[in-house]
């Protein structure tokens, strides 16, 4: 049953994406309720499977899970060891499939003709949030020469790589040295000189507070915070719903008069504060910003925010 669905999805998705130079995509997104997984393909060789089961649904799903692994091996002609399982199973019988030790298995994959370093084994996320592929596509096709992009909570800076390939000069802010180093590697992999771009280790919230009075203004800001964040190096914890008004207000002060802020987040229940809607010109671009290979059209909320001139 699952094999046929995977075949159908592969046929529908792969050819379209290969033509645009993309080799990572969502093959399966909980299409069949009895097979509650998300399956992502990374290049010709690797697959990540995310079980999305709760304890009730878990029961009796062991056979389905093994059937899915077999189907992936057959369909993609890859060894079982190239199917990487993320997340946690609630059912005992399935726990044997969970990752036992760290393995630092990395590959380079192409998206829209650009190279990205992917870590298949050591973190919950791989280094590339595929749900923002359409936004990266928009950036690669834009004319960015002479324009400045600020990427807050930049993670591995895939958005900045796409922008830099179109000529943007980027400033990338993240709390984590690991992700800033990974960002630089992504730039190098695309022969984009890192000396033209900035990589700043700071809390995005503190960076904004420090910079709002500066004359350094941006044409574009990409703000993609986690739902929640807490770290010793932060004055206080960050929660997207509670803190988005302050952060967006500060971003708007850092924009040029015709600049655009792109604000995204993954909190399912997130509601944009209504006073922001009165102060700025805000367009909800969530639906159009989600890739065709994602069935979950609520994977993120995405807003385009401009000053009212
Ligand atoms: C891009 S966000 C998460 C994006 C995605 N919307 C999600 O919810 O999974 C993850 C990044 O934010 C960084 N981060 C977390 N709190 C931060 C903070 N206060 N300032 C700057 N970066 C932060 C993390 O180090 C990580 O690289």
For the stretch 286-301, pLDDT in tens is 999 999 999 999 999 9
Same domain, 78 and 169: no
Band (274; pLDDT cuts 50, 70, 90): very high
Instruction: Yes or no: say if 36 and 24 are a contact pair by the CB < 8 Å rule.
Output: no
Ligand 1 pocket residue status of 224, Cβ below 6 Å: yes
Is the domain of 81 the same as that of 157? no
Q: pLDDT tens, 21-38? A: 999 999 999 999 999 999
Q: Treating both helix axes as pointing N-terminal to C-terminal, what angle do 177-189 and 158-165 enclose, rounded to 10 degrees?
A: 30
Ligand 1: nearest atom to the Cα of 156? 27
For ligand 1, atom 15: residue with the closest CA: 229
Q: How many CB atoms lie within 10 A of CB 290?
A: 20
Same domain, 166 and 286: yes
Instruction: Name the closest-CA residue to atom 7, ligand 1.
Output: 226
Q: Is the pLDDT of residue 216 over 80?
A: yes
Same domain assignment for residues 280 and 218: yes
Q: What pTM, to 2 d.p., does this model score?
A: 0.94
Q: Do 137 and 90 reside in the same domain of the chain?
A: no
Ligand 1 and 182: CB distance under 6 A: no
CA atoms in the 13 A half-sphere facing the CB of 180: 16
Residue at 124 is within a domain:
no
Report which protein residue has its CA nearest ligand 1's atom 19: 203
What token pair was written down for 100?
A: 């036992």
Tokens, residue 163: 């922008």
205 in contact with ligand 1, CB cutoff 6 A:
yes
CA separation for the pair 141, 1 (Å, rounded) = 39
Tell me how many degrees the CA angle 116-121-124 measures, rounded to the nearest 5. 85
Query: Mean pLDDT, to the nearest integer, of 10-22?
Result: 94
pLDDT (tens digit per residue) in 61-89 = 678 999 999 999 999 999 999 999 987 66
Distance (angstroms) between ligand 1 centre and the Cα of 290 equals 20
- Nearest alpha carbon, ligand 1 atom 13: 153
- Residue 65 CB–ligand 1 contact under 6 Å: no
- CATH code, domain with 46: 3.30.750.80
Contact residues for 100 (Cβ-Cβ < 8 A; gap 6+): none
d(CA 201, CA 164): 20
Distance 176 CA to ligand 1 centre (A): 9
Q: Are residues 217 and 264 in the same domain?
A: yes
pLDDT digits (tens, 9 = 90+) for 220-261: 999 999 999 998 778 789 999 999 999 999 999 999 999 999
Indicate whether 104 belongs to any domain: no
pLDDT digits (tens, 9 = 90+) for 158-197: 999 999 999 999 999 999 999 999 999 999 999 999 999 9
| Coil vs helix vs strand at 185 | helix
Q: Is 145 exposed, middle or buried (0-12, 13-18, 19+ CB in 10 A)?
A: exposed
Read off the pLDDT of each residue in 97-111 and give the average, rounded to a whole number: 77
Mean pLDDT calculated for residue range 209-219: 96
- Non-local (6+) Cβ contacts of 273 within 8 A are 244, 245
The C-alpha atoms of residue 185 and residue 191 are separated, in whole angstroms, by 10
**Alpha-carbon distance 200 to 154, whole Å?**
10
Which pLDDT score, from 0 to 100, does residue 100 have?
Answer: 47
Q: Is 191 left (phi over 0), alpha (psi -120 to 50) or beta?
A: left
37-54 residue pLDDT tens: 999 999 999 999 998 876
- Domain for residue 108, yes or no? no
What pLDDT is recorded for position 52? 83
3-class DSSP state for residue 100?
coil
Instruction: Assess whether 226 and 278 both reside in one domain.
Output: yes
Domain holding 294, by residue range, is 129-307
**Domain finish residue from 47, 76, 95:** 95
Q: Higher-confidence residue: 102 or 259? A: 259
């Amino acid at each position: 049953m699952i094999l046929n669905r995977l075949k159908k999805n592969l046929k529908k998705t792969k050819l379209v994406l290969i033509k645009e130079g993309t080799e990572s995509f969502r093959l399966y997104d909980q299409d069949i309720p009895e097979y509650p997984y998300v399956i992502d393909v990374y290049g010709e060789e690797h697959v990540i499977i995310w079980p999305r089961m709760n304890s009730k649904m878990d029961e009796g799903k062991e056979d389905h899970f093994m059937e899915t692994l077999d189907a992936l091996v057959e369909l993609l002609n890859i060894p079982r060891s190239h199917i990487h399982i993320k997340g946690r199973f609630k059912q005992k019988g399935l726990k044997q499939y969970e990752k036992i030790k760290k393995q630092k298995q990395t590959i380079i994959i192409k998206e829209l003709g650009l190279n990205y370093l992917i870590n298949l084994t050591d973190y919950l996320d791989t280094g590339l949030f595929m749900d923002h592929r359409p936004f990266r596509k928009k950036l690669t096709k834009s004319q960015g020469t002479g324009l400045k992009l600020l990427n807050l909570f930049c993670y591995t800076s895939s958005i900045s790589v796409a922008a830099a390939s179109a000529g943007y000069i980027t400033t990338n802010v993240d709390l984590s040295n690991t992700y800033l180093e990974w960002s630089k590697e992504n730039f190098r992999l695309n022969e984009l000189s890192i000396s033209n771009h900035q990589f700043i280790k700071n809390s995005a919230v503190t960076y904004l507070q420090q910079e709002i009075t500066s004359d350094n203004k941006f044409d574009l800001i990409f703000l993609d915070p986690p739902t929640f964040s807490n770290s010793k190096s932060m004055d206080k914890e960050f929660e997207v719903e509670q803190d988005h008004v302050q952060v967006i207000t500060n971003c708007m002060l850092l924009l040029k008069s015709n600049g655009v802020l792109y604000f995204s987040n993954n909190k399912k229940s997130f509601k944009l504060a209504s006073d922001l809607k009165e102060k700025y010109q805000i367009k909800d671009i969530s639906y159009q910003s989600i890739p065709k290979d994602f069935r979950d059209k609520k994977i993120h909320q995405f807003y385009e925010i401009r000053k009212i001139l």
